[in-house]
Structure 1
Amino acid sequence: MEWMFLPYKRYADFSGRSRRKEYWMFFLFVMIVYIVLWMLGGGMAEMDDPYAEPEMNIWMIALVIFALATFIPGLAVQVRRFHDQDKSGWFVLLGFIPLVGGLIVLVFMCLEGTRGENRFGPDPKGAADPTVFE
């Protein structure tokens, strides 16, 4: 559970490295929250009904607020994943390439990081406690 919230503790920290476990647990948490809020908000039913119940709109507003609050930590953890592979954080921009960009970033997020220290810091797998980063 600690791994899911670690990117929020390092909210706008674009330096250092992050493990695959941190990235994918955060991704899982975000997807679960998105799905739950979308379902509570009526999902597709709201799109068909312009006179939807007000409580549906409240959940959809909560979804937008959550998405905005998650954007920066999500970007930061992705940059730190690239740093773990000894790549520049600018590789995040690969996601903007139509059709294949997202697939390329997905492959990079699945790759193991470099072992030992690299130019972005010490190996995050070397730390026993996930909250300890030097």
Structure 2
Amino acid sequence: MSFVDVLFSAKGRMRRRDYWIYSLSVTAAFFIAGYAVHAFIGTDDFISEITSAGTMSPTPFHYFMFVVQTLGQWPAICIMAKRWHDRNKSGWLALITTTVLLVLDYAPRVLWNLGLPVPVDGWFANMCSLFDTAIVIWIFVECGCLDGTKGPNKYGPSPKGIGVAEDVF
């Protein structure tokens, strides 16, 4: 499977080792890109700016990172979809869980910035964080810890080569 297929196609299956390698690589690339962009349009303190996004007026950096996070999720979704396929589950779970995580992450901030009476550190934000954490733990266990289906399944052959008939001659 080519690098482009891994990042931009949701077809096929992926073993855990490859899932971790690609997921961590994409995460590192986004962090480095975010830090580089921050150097040009952010404020003085990168860490405080990304951790306090909902407690202050949004800066151009916040808007840019929202767009980058939203559009840049495609490689992460494709990688996760392949892992769900290896677990013999629908790859749509990758899109659904990513969308729910984005909504849970941004809902308190967006509502607060719109002037609605939803404090960023109140019960609503705490519930969003609780559900967010539960979903992340579920994805971590399913995609990152549990073994895939042994042999072929409806999403393709085993990425480990299990269940493939060998030609002797």
The alignment-based identity, stated in percent, is 25
Say if 2:148 is the partner of 1:113: yes
Q: Which runs of 5+ in 2 are unaligned?
A: 40-45, 53-60, 102-130, 163-169
Find the aligned partners of 1:106 and 1:9 in 2 and give their Cα distance. 23
Worse-matched range after superposition: 114-123 or 16-25: 16-25
Q: 1:89 to 1:45 in 2, by over 3 A?
A: closer
How far 1:114 sits from its partner (Å)?
A: 0.9
2:83 corresponds, among 71, 81, 84, to: 81
**Distance in 2 separating the partners of 1:94 and 1:68:** 13
Q: List runs of 5+ in structure 1 lacking aligned partners.
A: 49-56, 128-134
Deviations 1:17-47 (A, max 9, x none): 1111222111211232233334443514668
- TM-score computed with the length of structure 2 as normaliser: 0.52
Could you give the per-residue CA deviations for residues 35-87 of structure 1, whole angstroms, max 9, x where no partner exists? 33344435146689xxxxxxxx7xx96x7786466421210111110000111
1:102 equivalenced with 2:136 (yes/no): yes
Match in the other structure for 2:158: 123
Alignment TM-score, normalising by the size of structure 1: 0.63
Distance verdict in 2 for CA 1:34–1:112, change over 3 Å: same
Secondary structure (helix, strand or coil) at the match of 2:160 reads helix
CA 1:85 to 1:26, structure 2 compared with 1: closer, same or farther past 3 Å?
same
* Structure 1 vs Structure 2 CA RMSD: 3.6
Deviates more, 1:70-79 or 1:27-36: 27-36
1:19 aligned onto 2:54: no
The alpha-carbon distance between structure 1 residues 118 and 67, as it changes in their structure 2 partners (threshold 3 A), is same
**Given the superposition, is the C-alpha separation of residues 125 and 26 from structure 1 closer, same or farther in structure 2, using an over 3 Å criterion?**
same
CA change 1:38–1:113 in 2 (3 A) is same
